[in-house]
Amino acid sequence: MTFVAVPMQTKSRGTAIVSALQQRLNRPTAEKPRPVFTINRRVARAFLDESAGLESLVARMAQCLNAYPHFFILRGPPPTEDAVLTVQIAKAIAGLKPHPLARVSGQALRVSHTRVEIDRNATLATGVTRYSRTHLALTPHTDSSYNPVPHELLAFQMVRDDAEGGVSILAPIEDVLANLDDAQIVALHKTKVPFGKRSYPVLWRQQGQSHIRFYDQQIQAAVSNGAALSEAARGALQPLQDVINVPRLFHSFALRGGETLFLHNTLALHGRTGFAKDSNRLMLRIRIYAGALV
Ligand SMILES: O=C(O)CCC(=O)C(=O)O
Ligand SMILES: [Fe+2]
């Protein structure tokens, strides 16, 4: 599936002809595909044993992340606070191909681990990633969007789910773009927006595919720290903000304890609904650079 980055003609939002593709992508969430890999104990053990004999399974997982809807759910293992299996699967996917960054820095090989749970000390003064450690809803976003190169692969291992909230929202880039018109898409490619200390365009083309970097709270935080947000950037962001605030356009599902969500961080935005202030919901988050997803 390809999208025109810089079309010669632009259509206004109201008169855009809804294509067959758009009609398909705008189906209600319940009808959207939700890939699941269920693994048994033998396969789990094989992953822990350096992924011996799992090449075709790992290749299918990578394929699933590169193709719509750019995520899958892993089921089978019981809930655990040990992230070793998730890390091994993430490393197996990442290791399919060397990452371009690996040539310039050992950083590419490092795995980032975070416990995502309510942190009562996470005050509103402690950095932009604080939101994930509260009970608050998170609108669909890209993780590590302040990095020159955001990690390609993210995994969220649900240890303890929340029965009433914390529902995952996944917004594949195709669904986001299908709800914007060509002029809006062009503006998001051309306009730089501040994330952390630097500015980057929200959309870019890589290997014939559009990728996205977007984190509303990060942009707002950069602005409150003094970064300039031009009128052009505000204008480019508004339609995107409008779209990502409509969860019914995207995939949503409640991950249950033991399930792990793997996703392509620059081909699908992820978010969640809020939950109770005293919830004991716990997820483990893994981020890794993955050459096979570049
Ligand atoms: O809590 C969740 O479901 C997602 C949290 C999140 O987006 C993050 O920690 O990056
Ligand atoms: Fe996130």
- In this prediction, residue 15 has a pLDDT band, given cuts at 50, 70 and 90, of very low
Give the tokens for residue 13: 């939002």
pLDDT band at 12 (very low <50, low <70, confident <90, very high): very low
Q: For each of the domains in the chain, give its residue range(s) and CATH number, in order of start.
A: 20-293 (3.60.130.10)
* DSSP state, residue 79: P
Q: For the residues 99-123, what does the mean pLDDT come to?
A: 80
CA dihedral 140, 142, 143, 148 (to 10 degrees): -160
Which ligand 1 atom minimizes the distance to the CA of 154? 10
Q: Looking at the CA of residue 168, tell me the nearest atom of ligand 1.
A: 3
Q: What pLDDT is recorded for position 7? A: 26
Candidate of 135, 153, 270, 282 to mutate for ligand 1, largest count of ligand atoms within 8 Å of Cβ: 270
Please say if the pLDDT value at position 17 is more than 60: no
pTM of the prediction?
A: 0.88
* pLDDT (0 to 100) of residue 78: 97
Coil/strand/helix, residue 269: strand
Task: Tell which residue, 195, 194, 188, 192, has the closest CA to residue 210.
Answer: 188
8-12, 66-70, 109-113, 265-269: which range is least confident on average?
8-12
Average pLDDT over residues 179-184: 97
Kind and range of the H or E run holding 240: helix 231-244
Instruction: State yes or no: pLDDT of 76 exceeds 70.
Output: yes
Residues near ligand 1 (Cβ within 6 A): 116, 132, 138, 143, 156, 166, 168, 270, 272, 283, 285
Other beta carbons less than 10 A from residue 243's beta carbon: 19
Looking from the CA of residue 255, the nearest atom of ligand 1 is: 3
Q: What is the pLDDT of residues 148-172, one digit of tens each?
A: 999 999 999 999 999 999 999 999 9
Q: What is the mean pLDDT of residues 17-26?
A: 44
